Amino acid sequence: MPRLILASGSRHRRQLLDRLGLPYAWESPDIDETPRPGESPEALVHRLSLAKAERLAGDWDDHLIIGSDQVAVFAGETLGKPADEAAARAQLARFSGRRVSFVTGLALIDTRHGSHRVCHERFEVVFRELGETEIARYVDRERPLDCAGSFRMEGLGIALFERLEGDDPNALIGLPLIRLCQLLREAGLDPLGEQ
């Protein structure tokens, strides 16, 4: 059975992967996440997800390596993580009463066969009307500076939304588990198989 590596330092992605009950190791890859001029959100998350997994591939023979990346898309603009609390408050103020798309890339490298698969999931969030005071309280309480879109859906961020639309809510947290399970089964590692 192939062994599993998560190419991420995100505790949220580790918590999601823990749900599958598969043994894995994790390591945080150091890559440049700067978007290229004219790069679409889908192309960006594909490139970064694969780059994260590739960064570790040379060190892990006979492994399946997972990479993932996420961006928010609003008014035709690709947004990453906020730089500070002021940027987080500004992002949430822009999102008030509006729809925001989240694109989460997923890569799986099989170092046994030198192959890889890359895909992405889109998830839509409709924010309710948000006041300045509640935005400030939210940012102060959760400090979502490490999250594209300036919120944590798995935490208090759920209070910011009117509704969620998409196939896999885990994609919004940062790791599309439904698609990951499919890729793992195709690579010979069934989460419901014998351990």
Note whether 162 and 146 are within 8 A (CB): no
Note whether 98 and 129 are within 8 A (CB): no
Strand partners, 63: 3
pLDDT (0 to 100) of residue 146: 86
Measuring CA to CA, how many Å separate 188 from each of 53, 63, 76, 96? 18, 11, 39, 44
pLDDT (0 to 100) of residue 154: 84
Note whether 179 and 106 are within 8 A (CB): yes
Q: Is 168 a catalytic residue?
A: no
Q: How far is Cα 147 from Cα 81, in angstroms, rounded to an integer? A: 5
Q: What is the mean pLDDT of each run of 10 residues along the chain (195 residues)?
A: 86 94 94 92 97 94 95 91 94 96 97 95 96 97 90 90 94 95 95 80
Considering the candidates 30, 69, 167, 190, report the single residue annotated as catalytic: 69
- The residues spanned by each domain of the chain are 3-186
Note whether 92 and 130 are within 8 A (CB): yes
Place of tokens 């009463």: 97
pLDDT (0 to 100) of residue 1: 53
pLDDT (0 to 100) of residue 18: 96
pLDDT (0 to 100) of residue 176: 97
Long-range contacts from 151-154, C-beta under 8 angstroms, 24+ separation: 151/92, 152/12, 153/125, 154/12, 154/15
Q: How far is Cα 69 from Cα 35, in angstroms, rounded to an integer? A: 12
- Token pair of 154 as six digits: 């798995």
Record: fold of 3-186: Maf protein (3.90.950)
User: Hey, which bits of 75-152 come out as E strands?
Assistant: 77-79, 99-110, 115-127
Q: How far is Cα 72 from Cα 107, in angstroms, rounded to an integer? A: 18
pLDDT (0 to 100) of residue 80: 82
Question: If 0-12 CB within 10 Å is exposed, 13-18 middle and 19+ buried, where does residue 88 land?
Answer: buried
